[in-house]
Amino acid sequence: MLIRRSTDIIPSEITPRALFEDRRAFLRDAGLFAAGLAVTGLGARAVQAQGKPFAGARKSPLSVAEAATPFKDVTTYNNFYEFGTGKDDPAERAGTLKPRPWTISVEGECAKPKRWDIDELMKLAAVEERIYRLRCVEGWSMVIPWNGFPLSELVKRAEPNSKAKYVEFVTLSDEKQMPGVRLPVLDWPYVEGLRMDEAMHPLALLTFGLYGDLLPNQNGAPVRIVVPWKYGFKSAKSIVRIRFTETEPKTAWNKAIPSEYGFYSNVNPQVDHPRWSQAKERRIGEFGKRATLMFNGYGEQVASLYAGMDLKKYY
């Protein structure tokens, strides 16, 4: 048995007390999961075996020229608190999620609200492959080949009106499919949001797959967003509602711990998390650490969105 000394443990690996206690509650309530897992199998097996529907997707010039993180790591090391607070929980438990049938309601301050069937939505624009970095606030990162099209394609079709200043994303909250929502880790459903100009930026991706296949359950099936210059928790998974609002959305992590998780949550190595530094990151599959890049390396494309803003105040 490996015993780690306290000096071996970095601050970002220390679980906050509230989450630790919720984790213990998960263990106490393990019986709630057993029946579902016995019927559905592990979430890691939930990668839809339908060939490679996006194998011929156009390669995007917005991709980074970096080696992709292995598929196994991408699909077994995740944050998805609807299935548990451990990194392996989503892969083990997400088999209960049913990504079909699925609808996404587009509503709020817009001229053309609509409820989209997921398969109809996937045909809205040409799907492309984009190899994006994903940086998580805990200090780890990946490089993932995502499949989707610009979020702006959907936004434009909704025709937001002059009151629409923000876009809110609401995710599924179903205790039968997502056993983690039985516990008060967050104020469910999970809600995230972007400013309108962020949502319209070409890098913001409405995402249906990775590695040429449909999204695995544990990675946010059947539809999520990917906002690569922000920390990973901004990229909402398993979305059921997109709403245009005049006021800034009350996002899940900002409501839970406002001193640690701001609305913008841009990757900024100069602003430490209150409990650890953001200056370095660990790329999954690599030894050692590398320097964290401002805006996760997308500064040339997105820095103009925040011209004149105090990025330490608007963290």
- So what's the pLDDT on residue 51? 67
Residue of 57 and 26 predicted with greater confidence: 57
Say which range, 35-44, 97-106, 173-182, has the weakest mean pLDDT.
35-44
pLDDT in tens, 137-168: 999 999 999 999 999 999 999 999 999 999 99
Q: Write down the pLDDT at residue 23.
A: 43
Average pLDDT, the chain: 88
Distances (CA, A) of 153 to 96, 109, 194, 205, 207: 31, 17, 15, 10, 12
Can you give the pLDDT at residue 52? 87
Q: Which residues pair with 144 in a beta bridge?
A: 132
Q: Which of 9-23, 185-199, 232-246 has the lowest mean pLDDT?
A: 9-23
Q: What are the tens digits of pLDDT across the range 199-244?
A: 999 999 999 999 999 999 999 999 999 999 999 999 999 999 999 9
- For the chain, give the percent of residues with pLDDT over 70: 84
Higher pLDDT: 99 or 12? It is: 99
Which band of pLDDT confidence, cut at 50, 70 and 90, is reported for residue 32? Answer: very low
Specify the pLDDT at position 231: 98
Angstrom distance (rounded) from CA 118 to CA 258:
33
Provide CB contacts within 8 A for 6, sequence distance 6+. none
pLDDT score of 24: 40
CA of 238: how far to CAs of 29, 201, 285, in Å?
24, 21, 26
pLDDT in tens, 35-67: 333 333 344 444 444 468 998 899 999 999 999
Q: In the predicted model, what is the mean pLDDT of residues 123-142?
A: 97
Ordered domains of the chain (ranges, CATH): 6-306 (3.90.420.10)
